[in-house]
Amino acid sequence: MAGPRVVIIGAGVVGAALADELSSRGWTEVTVVDQGPLPVTGGSSSHAPGLVFQTNPSKTMTELARYTVEKLSSLSVDGEPCFLQVGGLEVATTPERLAELHRRHGWVTAWGIEARLLGPDACVELHPLLDRRRVLGGLLIPTDGLAKAVLAVDAQLRAASGRGVRCLARHEVLDIRTETDEDGTDRVRAVVTDHGEIPADTVVCCAGIWGPKVARMAGMELPLTPLAHQLAWTGPVPVLAGQKQEAVRPILRHQDADLYYRDRHDRLGIGYYGHRPMPVSPDDIAPVDAAERMPSVLRFTEDDFADAWTETQALLPATREAKIEEGINGLFSFTTDGMPLLGESPDVKGFWVAEAVWVTHSAGVGRAMAEWLVDGHCSSFDLHECDVNRFEAHQLAPDYVLARGCRNFEEVYDIIHPLQPPGDLRPLRTSPFHARQRELNAYFLEASGWERPQWYSANEPLLARWDVPAPGDWAARMWSPVVGAEALATRESVAMYDMTALKRLEVTGRGAASFLQSMTTADVAKSVGSVTYSLMLDQDGGIRSDITVARLGRDRFQIGANGPLDLDWLTRHLPRDGSVSVRDITSGTCCIGLWGPKAREVLQPLADSDFSNRGLRYFRAKRAHIGSVPVTAMRLSYVGELGWELYTDADMGLKLWDTLWEAMRPYDGIAAGRGAFNSLRLEKGYRAFGTDMTYEHDPYEAGLAFAVKLDQGDFIGRAALEERMTAVRRRLTCLTIDDPRGVVMGKEPVYDGAACVGYVTSAAYGYTIGKGIAYAWLPIGAAAPGRTLQIGYFERRVPAVVSEEPLFDPSMSRLRG
Ligand code: THG
């Protein structure tokens, strides 16, 4: 079978990799078109400096990079290799950066790549141009190196051509032709070029910096900003005279000055991120033949490079004997969150994008997209952070896309704390409680654009009642002891939490119940008033999301979801007959979680309905009035205490807050923030999708088997589960940490002796249990309760004990009472 007719737009590193990967899976009815000549098309791949550093806070990005390294290492063109594995060295010239290199060593080790921390002498030995006096230490990844991007394009296109793929140079795409099916679905039909139409069942836009322009032809807005980035080349450096090989020294990063370096015989390439952001609109990029050198290469602006050259001469003194001989301002793609844009248009079936991908991840993305297209899902990589449909509506606004793209350029090499909110364009989304939260001196962080209190300084007086242990310096950023006091006050009395940022979807229609049965792992079509915790799975049994499904009417359900991808997933699977609709109701509604042992005493007197255990059991929902506010009350709690999520329309939110606030006073009730929330949920062992488990994990490994009802009828992923059930080799495992200063943040490696055996997902201090908590993915053999393992945290190895979970209230007496 030759597969459907595929047109790939763009023959850069991504398009070429995809053509190769598709054709090697038997899809050979593939045409690659590019407006430029081949293999030097004039896009970003044609000028890319080719440095492949695999280290990344994202596990997926590291894995995409690792595959790119493996693949390019196996490719050559006429005997010339596509990858020079010279290693990658990052050096620190400040104590902060040295600490950061330990953290980066932790990530890359956690993701399974060999890495070594080096002292200054070892750095200089590897890269003798370094000034020993300026270097405090380094991080070496021996498998990093230089990709020859144009050769990689050539090699992969040749391989694809050999299997029958057509590669058409100098074909400019003018339009994407779509048609509407009888059932109302828009589909791609053809790609219109200046040489005529090419029929297509599937189109994949790999057009890089031109992506927004091409995607718009299919009615899709791509949140991508092309930015110019300076790359300069020295003339001959005298001490390097006679270097025959293209590269012998490792590729080098000097992040303290926004710089990187690579060899080219007796010269050096210097890349710089320290200059002002220089965005260019995709519509203003020069056409292939009008460009001075090539469309993605703009004239070098020397003034912007002045500091880079000064810094270079300081770090690499031998360059003082050389001059900058040439330079470019090269365009490449930035996104609002630094991640690529992969997936299918929500509106036009068959129109796909693989955009904002750097050379580093290109072959990995080629493979990921090929699996996704051929198998219907990608099983080698967890792509939830890369999905083009991950954005909230405001994140597609042009000014947001531009501002955040520029910001990401500026922050490329910055040391970013995991909790650090974006610094600009705030506030964007505010809940109806925002004014009150400010009055209470909330410390706000951002969640999906929502301003969300992390803690309230107004709660400082609580510190007189409890001794809250301080974490280490890094974890103490964007933290306050008030976090601990709020957690303890919730367990002791009552607190309200702003849950507005929790994504809410409404599913309605006569087919709603059977649709949701087919989409989720549990029986969600129980009586009206039921609430069910359930999972949505991929075809291969991987977890797409964990959700709550509340049946509010015979044909009306409210879903507590994890983000826009849940809406996208449900929408894609809607029956074609119009019997079900799905709608995001988050923005028009709001939610307060009222939780704690005193919650019932606070709520009952305000309510026109029975909130006793008989009146509303655990995991049941009903309509009621709280004072004059109509609410939907759901009895469940992510913090593990008695109480309800109280939903109302946005216009009544403030009234709900004020009503509860007044009623809480006699009980010393408080407003509490996300810091406390996160600690409480980990004490209770509740997982968070995207952090604790993702597409790559199944319910059995993740400790969520209880949410799967195999006898409930068929649902997506069910068939795959039968096999995965008996093949569990790793487990999401609870670890406790005795030393409060050893409480980690997530993404750290877990060692069993000298060997790294897994990685931390979520972590927090458990104020009730008086221990640090870290959840980690570990092989079953390492996960025996009572064993002591070590977590790599900066330069420390923190002892952590495998523990039975949940750590708090395993008998559920708090919740069910
Ligand atoms: N509230 C609502 N919806 C949500 C969340 C929420 N959807 C997304 C996310 N959070 C889902 N995560 C959880 C995790 C655990 C529980 C609820 C939502 C939970 N679990 C109980 C347990 O594991 O013991 C009960 C499980 C059961 O009885 O089936 O409460 O915060 N609305």
Q: What is the pLDDT of residues 406-436, one digit of tens each?
A: 999 999 999 999 999 987 889 999 999 999 9
Whether residue 199 has pLDDT greater than 80? yes
Which of 499, 545, 632, 638 is the pocket-test mutation for ligand 1 (most atoms within 8 Å of CB)? 638
Residue type, 100: E
- Do 494 and 507 sit in the same domain of this protein? no
Q: What percent of the chain has pLDDT over 90?
A: 97
Question: What is the atom index within ligand 1 of the atom nearest the CA of 562?
Answer: 8
Which of 533, 569, 641 is the pocket-test mutation for ligand 1 (most atoms within 8 Å of CB)? 533
β-bridge pairing 166-168 and 30-33: parallel
Q: What percent of the chain has pLDDT over 70?
A: 100
Q: What is the CATH number of the domain that holds 459?
A: 3.30.1360.120
Phi, psi dihedral angles at 673 (to 5 degrees): -110, -175
Residue whose CA lies nearest to ligand 1 atom number 31: 638
- Do 660 and 629 sit in the same domain of this protein? yes
Residue whose CA lies nearest to ligand 1 atom number 22: 686
Per-residue pLDDT of 696-751, as tens digits, reads: 999 999 999 999 999 989 999 999 999 999 999 999 999 999 999 999 999 999 99
Active-site residue, from 67, 260, 497, 533: 260
Question: What is the atom index within ligand 1 of the atom nearest the CA of 685?
Answer: 23
- Do 368 and 344 sit in the same domain of this protein? yes
Residue type, 355: E
- Do 481 and 604 sit in the same domain of this protein? yes
Q: Distance from the CA of 708 to the center of ligand 1, in angstroms?
A: 14
- Do 32 and 155 sit in the same domain of this protein? yes
Whether residue 798 has pLDDT greater than 70? yes
Cis before 39? omega within 30: yes
Per-residue pLDDT of 212-230, as tens digits, reads: 999 999 999 999 999 999 9
Per-residue pLDDT of 666-682, as tens digits, reads: 999 999 999 999 999 99
Residue whose CA lies nearest to ligand 1 atom number 15: 686
Q: What is the CATH number of the domain that holds 35?
A: 3.50.50.60
Q: What integer pLDDT is reported at residue 290 of this predicted model?
A: 82
Residue whose CA lies nearest to ligand 1 atom number 23: 686
Which of 548, 637, 762 is the pocket-test mutation for ligand 1 (most atoms within 8 Å of CB)? 548
Per-residue pLDDT of 23-82, as tens digits, reads: 999 999 999 999 999 999 999 999 999 999 999 999 999 999 999 999 999 999 999 999
Q: How far apart are CA 363 and CA 83, in angstroms?
A: 12
- Do 85 and 111 sit in the same domain of this protein? yes
E strand spans, 441-542: 442-447, 450-456, 495-498, 503-508, 531-537
In a domain, 639, yes or no: yes
Q: Distance from the CA of 671 to the center of ligand 1, in angstroms?
A: 21
For ligand 1, say whether the CB of 536 is within 6 Å of any of its atoms.
no
* Alpha carbon separation from 378 to 76, 156, 374, 540, 664 (Å, rounded): 27, 21, 9, 9, 49
Whether residue 491 has pLDDT greater than 90? yes
Whether residue 804 has pLDDT greater than 90? yes
For ligand 1, say whether the CB of 677 is within 6 Å of any of its atoms.
no
Distance of CA 540 to the CA centre of its chain: 21
For ligand 1, say whether the CB of 448 is within 6 Å of any of its atoms.
no
For ligand 1, say whether the CB of 548 is within 6 Å of any of its atoms.
yes
Q: Distance from the CA of 184 to the center of ligand 1, in angstroms?
A: 36
Contact of 12 with 177, CB cutoff 8 Å: no
| Interval 375-398 mean pLDDT | 97
In a domain, 721, yes or no: no
Contact of 641 with 490, CB cutoff 8 Å: yes
Per-residue pLDDT of 76-126, as tens digits, reads: 999 999 999 999 999 999 999 999 999 999 999 999 999 999 999 999 999
Q: Distance from the CA of 567 to the center of ligand 1, in angstroms?
A: 18
Q: Give the end of a domain, one of 657, 681, 705.
A: 681
Q: Distance from the CA of 186 to the center of ligand 1, in angstroms?
A: 36
Q: For residue 260, indicate whether it is catalytic.
A: yes
Q: Distance from the CA of 530 to the center of ligand 1, in angstroms?
A: 13
Q: Distance from the CA of 548 to the center of ligand 1, in angstroms?
A: 6
Phi, psi dihedral angles at 570 (to 5 degrees): -65, -45
In a domain, 614, yes or no: yes
Cα dihedral sign, 540-545-546-549:
negative
Q: What integer pLDDT is reported at residue 424 of this predicted model?
A: 80
- Do 461 and 354 sit in the same domain of this protein? no
Q: What is the CATH number of the domain that holds 265?
A: 3.30.9.10
- Do 519 and 482 sit in the same domain of this protein? no
Active-site residue, from 258, 546, 568, 584: 546
SS3 content of the chain, % helix, strand, coil (to 5): 30, 30, 40
In a domain, 766, yes or no: no
Q: What is the CATH number of the domain that holds 511?
A: 3.30.70.1400
In a domain, 400, yes or no: no
- Do 252 and 141 sit in the same domain of this protein? yes
Q: Distance from the CA of 665 to the center of ligand 1, in angstroms?
A: 28
Whether residue 369 has pLDDT greater than 70? yes
- Do 487 and 609 sit in the same domain of this protein? yes
In a domain, 774, yes or no: no
For ligand 1, say whether the CB of 443 is within 6 Å of any of its atoms.
no
Whether residue 656 has pLDDT greater than 70? yes
Tell me which H or E stretch contains 777. Answer: strand 771-779
**pLDDT class for 354, splitting at 50, 70, 90?**
very high
Q: Distance from the CA of 707 to the center of ligand 1, in angstroms?
A: 10
Domains held by the chain: number: 4
Q: Distance from the CA of 533 to the center of ligand 1, in angstroms?
A: 6
Q: How far apart are CA 494 and CA 597, in angstroms?
A: 6
Q: What integer pLDDT is reported at residue 712 of this predicted model?
A: 84
For ligand 1, say whether the CB of 686 is within 6 Å of any of its atoms.
yes
Residue type, 80: E
Residue whose CA lies nearest to ligand 1 atom number 3: 560
For ligand 1, say whether the CB of 638 is within 6 Å of any of its atoms.
yes
Question: Which tokens go with 134?
Answer: 């300026």
Domain range enclosing 178: 6-53+56-66+149-222+337-375
Q: Which of 378, 439, 478 is nearest to 64 (CA)?
A: 378
Q: Distance from the CA of 343 to the center of ligand 1, in angstroms?
A: 28
β-bridge pairing 145-147 and 278-279: unpaired
For ligand 1, say whether the CB of 521 is within 6 Å of any of its atoms.
no
Residue whose CA lies nearest to ligand 1 atom number 16: 638
Residue type, 570: L
- Do 169 and 249 sit in the same domain of this protein? no
Q: For residue 254, indicate whether it is catalytic.
A: no
Q: Give the end of a domain, one of 333, 359, 386.
A: 333
Active-site residue, from 47, 229, 434, 697: 229
For ligand 1, say whether the CB of 520 is within 6 Å of any of its atoms.
no
The string of DSSP codes covering 109-176 is HHTT---EEE-HHHHHHHSTTS-TTT--EEEEETT-EEE-HHHHHHHHHHHHHHTT-EEESS--EEEE
Q: How far apart are CA 781 and CA 775, in angstroms?
A: 16
Whether residue 438 has pLDDT greater than 80? yes
Q: Which of 368, 370, 365 is nearest to 355 (CA)?
A: 365
Q: How far apart are CA 416 and CA 96, in angstroms?
A: 11
In a domain, 532, yes or no: yes
**pLDDT class for 1, splitting at 50, 70, 90?**
low
Instruction: Name the more confident of 367 and 816.
Output: 367
For ligand 1, say whether the CB of 632 is within 6 Å of any of its atoms.
no
Close Cβ partners of 316 (under 8 Å, ≥ 6 residues apart): 129, 130, 131, 261, 268
For ligand 1, say whether the CB of 547 is within 6 Å of any of its atoms.
yes
Residue whose CA lies nearest to ligand 1 atom number 14: 686
- Do 318 and 251 sit in the same domain of this protein? yes
For ligand 1, say whether the CB of 645 is within 6 Å of any of its atoms.
yes
Q: Give the end of a domain, one of 621, 655, 681.
A: 681
Residue type, 710: L
For ligand 1, say whether the CB of 619 is within 6 Å of any of its atoms.
yes
| Interval 163-170 mean pLDDT | 98
Whether residue 287 has pLDDT greater than 90? no
Which of 520, 530, 546, 592 is the pocket-test mutation for ligand 1 (most atoms within 8 Å of CB)? 546
Per-residue pLDDT of 780-797, as tens digits, reads: 999 999 999 999 999 999
Neighbour-count burial for 660-683, b at 16+ CB within 10 Å, e otherwise: bbebbeebebbbbbbbbbbbbbbb
Q: Distance from the CA of 729 to the center of ligand 1, in angstroms?
A: 25
Whether residue 145 has pLDDT greater than 90? yes
Question: What is the atom index within ligand 1 of the atom nearest the CA of 547?
Answer: 7
* Alpha carbon separation from 654 to 187, 498, 622, 644 (Å, rounded): 45, 11, 21, 17
Q: Distance from the CA of 816 to the center of ligand 1, in angstroms?
A: 14
Q: How far apart are CA 158 and CA 589, in angstroms?
A: 55
Question: Which tokens go with 547?
Answer: 């959700």
* Structure-token match 């990093």, residue found: 144
Contact of 364 with 68, CB cutoff 8 Å: yes
**What average pLDDT is seen over the chain?**
97
| Interval 476-499 mean pLDDT | 98
In a domain, 719, yes or no: no
Q: For residue 289, indicate whether it is catalytic.
A: no
Contact of 590 with 650, CB cutoff 8 Å: yes
| Interval 606-632 mean pLDDT | 98
Supply the angle between the helices 674-683 and 481-492 in degrees, to the nearest 10. Answer: 60
Question: What is the atom index within ligand 1 of the atom nearest the CA of 638?
Answer: 31
Q: How far apart are CA 212 and CA 396, in angstroms?
A: 12
Question: What is the atom index within ligand 1 of the atom nearest the CA of 534?
Answer: 29
Question: What is the atom index within ligand 1 of the atom nearest the CA of 688?
Answer: 12
For ligand 1, say whether the CB of 808 is within 6 Å of any of its atoms.
no
Q: How far apart are CA 417 and CA 477, in angstroms?
A: 8
Question: What is the atom index within ligand 1 of the atom nearest the CA of 634?
Answer: 32
- The predicted model scores a pTM of 0.97
For ligand 1, say whether the CB of 546 is within 6 Å of any of its atoms.
yes
Length of the chain: 817
* Structure-token match 């020397």, residue found: 302
